[in-house]
Amino acid sequence: MSVRVRFAPSPTGALHIGGVRTALYNYLFARKHGGQFLLRIEDTDQNRFVPGAEDYIIEALKWVGLIPDEGVGFGGDYGPYRQSDRKAIYLDYALQLVERGHAYYAFDTPEALEARRESEDNFTYNQFTRTGLSNSLTLSAEAVQQHLDAGLPYVIRLKVAPNQEIRIHDLIRGEVVFQSADVDDKVLLKADGMPTYHLANIIDDHLMKITHVIRGEEWLPSTAHHVLLYQGFGWEDTMPQFAHLPLIMKPVGNGKLSKRDGAKFGMPVFPLNWEGATEEDHFPGFREAGFLPEAVVNFLALLGWHPENDQEIFTLEQLVEAFSVGHISKSGARFDYEKAKWFNQKYIQAMDAATLATHIQPLAEAKGYEVSVEYLQQVAVLMKERVTFLPDFVEQGYYLFEPVRTYDSETVQKKWSETVAGIFVELQSSLGNIVPFESANLEEKVKQFVQEKGAKPGDVLPLLRIALAGTMKGPAVFDMAVALGSAETMGRLKRFVETFNK
RNA sequence: GGCCUGUUCGUCUAGGGGUUAGGACACGUCCCUUUCACGGAUGAAACACGGGUUCGAUUCCCGUACAGGCUACCA
């Protein structure tokens, strides 16, 4: 049977980077085994629905290159893939479970249950407490029918049998055992007619022929309910295998990574910018911060998984090849932004100038720079060894696009002297005439000239750099001069001399 | 509180009854370079604790501690 896995996020806001990793592992597993990867939208909670969240999820998956074979926005033969569009399906199945004696009607109001929780410390609706509550197990058949006929609100709950051992063979954690006494009678169908996650999940996985459920560790406890549901429906034979992923933890402190951590630690925790309704609900994304999607994928892949060797840089195809569930670690992984930056730097370094130029172009245009693609490629070559983020090309390297804003005058003061001033005055008029205007030739001629004047290259070159870039950081001086061109180089020298030769 | 899951350098991790406990990020030093980076070399840095089992445990078992998750008509 062909492998089928799904990524099933809830559209309650921006897709967390941990969600992207879950999607990635599902994708890798599907590709590795020649199976399908589906996107299912789990929007059964109408109260938590957030407009735009679904589009965000789809756009994020596209950005990182994890294209589903089926799902909302991608078609497929097992649709609809949005649970709110499948509402009609769930009631029939819930009723079927009631008939089979694995579920029951419950009429207790949320307020009544809330009151119980208030007064009793650890109240749960389960096999021990249900006998004292209002449900089809305690009420007579007539009373139940009356309630139903009268249109009283009800939910359908899972009827957990006593003295059962529920065994799960998790692909990552091995055997996990629960006692049914510890498992509560979860609501399966809510009073509004929508299923809860638990019911919808099982029915959809069954109907969509899902073979492997790869999801976060937060789902491990409820897997006991899920197994009971498969048994209740008589679907044990086709029950998917489970793999519960370790969680991604906060960069500092305790707990799992949350959306607030982005602002708190000054780093993105979402793939894309998210602009919610309120000011508070705005979060930066990896894309807008200047990450390459390949770098994000590579970083995420290694957060909780490792290959058989010590390889660190992987294309998506290589990840597919190397991936195995057996090498997923069990413990939570701290979100390491430094490592994420390192990956991005590595990917920028490895990228060819033409491709890099296409990434820099929109950034340059946004700044109002009008330059040719050829020039952007030169900028790419000059800067790629010294940037971490895409915007660094136009920010750190702004002087390649516009005049120097400020000179590192401290360094200039230190180096400035009568001799040097004289050299610069001459350089100002002669440098542009050096032919050919090429890096190696310029370097040779300038150094020669400086020495003829009785100075050392070290006295002059740093200042030449400041004249062109304003700062002591940056690409090789003569490479910059060539990129800027002789006219611009001359202009910058002139301005530099005018500024300091007073 | 109850249930479930974890615990190797600061971080991500490899390993697994006998190893100089390996790699990567970050950090230090040096080399390259009259800049900054890149690159290269090198250094410091870890098996949570206590009991077993064993000739021998970081590795297997039990307990403790700590951490995480779940405990909604949320997912």
Q: A81-122: per-residue pLDDT in tens?
A: 999 999 999 999 999 999 999 999 999 999 999 999 999 988
Give the CA-to-C1' distance from A71 to B30 in angstroms. 56
**Residue lying closest to nucleotide B74, CA to C1':** A45
pLDDT-derived band at A173 (thresholds 50, 70, 90) equals very high
Catalytic residue, from A87, A256, A259, A341: name it: A259
Residue A10 approaches strand B within 7 Å at CB = yes
Closest CA to A185 of A156, A227, A163: A156
Q: Does A1 have pLDDT greater than 80?
A: no
* Burial classification of residue A438, based on how many CB atoms lie within 10 Å of its CB (0-12 exposed, 13-18 middle, 19 or more buried): middle
Residues of A from 217 to 256 whose C-beta is within 7 A of strand B: which are they? 217-222, 246-247, 249, 254-256
The total of other beta-carbon atoms located within 10 Å of residue A26's CB is: 26
Q: How many residues does chain A have?
A: 502
Give the CA-to-C1' distance from A330 to B6 in angstroms. 7
Is pTM beyond 0.90? Reply is yes
Residue A46 approaches strand B within 7 Å at CB = no
On average, the pLDDT of chain A sits at 95
Point out the nucleotide closest to A194 (alpha carbon to C1′): B73
> Around A85, how many Cα atoms within 13 Å sit in the side-chain half-sphere?
9
pLDDT tens readout for residues A213-251: 999 999 999 999 999 999 999 999 999 999 999 999 999
% of chain A residues with pLDDT over 90: 87
Residues of A from 443 to 482 whose C-beta is within 7 A of strand B: which are they? 447, 456-458, 461-462, 465, 472-477
Point out the nucleotide closest to A345 (alpha carbon to C1′): B38
Residue A89 approaches strand B within 7 Å at CB = no
**From CA A91, how far away is CA A89, in angstroms rounded?**
6
Q: Is A259 in the active site? A: yes
pLDDT tens readout for residues A28-78: 999 999 999 999 999 999 999 999 999 999 999 999 999 999 999 999 999
Q: In Å, how far are A34, A54, A269 from A85, measured between CA atoms? A: 29, 14, 30
Per-residue pLDDT, A419: 87
Mean pLDDT of A158-177: 95
Give the CA-to-C1' distance from A238 to B41 in angstroms. 56
Closest CA to A348 of A386, A396, A298: A386
Find out whether A73 and A39 touch, Cβ atoms under 8 Å: yes
Q: Which nucleotides of B are covered by protein (CB under 7 A)?
A: 1-8, 10-15, 22-26, 34-39, 67-75
Q: Alpha carbon A24 to chain centroid distance?
A: 10
Per-residue pLDDT, A250: 93
Per-residue pLDDT, A114: 94
Beta carbons within 8 Å of A152's beta carbon, 6+ residues apart: A107
